[in-house]
Amino acid sequence: MMWVIDTSALIRLFVPDGPLHPEVETAFNRAASGADLVLAPHLLLAEAANVLLRKRRRDELSAQELRELLQAVESLPIRLCEHGPLLFPACALAEAHGLSAYDALYLAVAEQHGARLITNDEGLAKVARAIGLA
């Protein structure tokens, strides 16, 4: 099975700001064993870094914790996808469903690979369900 994870679901693995998505641990355990594949656009790394940096600036993380969490994010078994070729499909999805181009990139990756989207963003999850990606 193929999965696409977005930043809202990924970050909860490291910062317990809310509940984990019910499929995130399964996806990563299966990806680590080689049974499944977890995908994301390269954008995921920048978004995760931005979330963690905001937490650092609010003194919720130390500088050392920030470095360690960034390393942990990079070490996860996620195949990062170039998102340049997905800009047109992502913009079409964004327009059709009232999403940001950023969120629509995750849907475009999922659509391209026939993958299931893992997100904690309820609006994005609703669209994913509506188009058969959740």
Residue 7 DSSP one-character state: H
Spatial separation of the C-alpha atoms in residues 125 and 50, rounded to whole Å: 22
Structural domain boundaries enclosing 97: 2-130
Q: How many domains does the chain have?
A: 1
pLDDT, tens only, 6-64: 999 999 999 888 899 999 999 999 999 999 999 999 999 999 999 999 999 999 999 99
For 63, the token pair is: 């500088």
What does the radius of gyration of the chain's CA atoms come to, in whole angstroms? 14
Please count the CA atoms within 13 angstroms of the CA of 54 that sit on its side-chain side: 7
pLDDT, tens only, 103-117: 999 999 999 999 999
Tokens 């170039």 belong to residue: 82
DSSP element (H, E) containing 81: strand 78-81
CATH code for the domain of 34: 3.40.50.1010
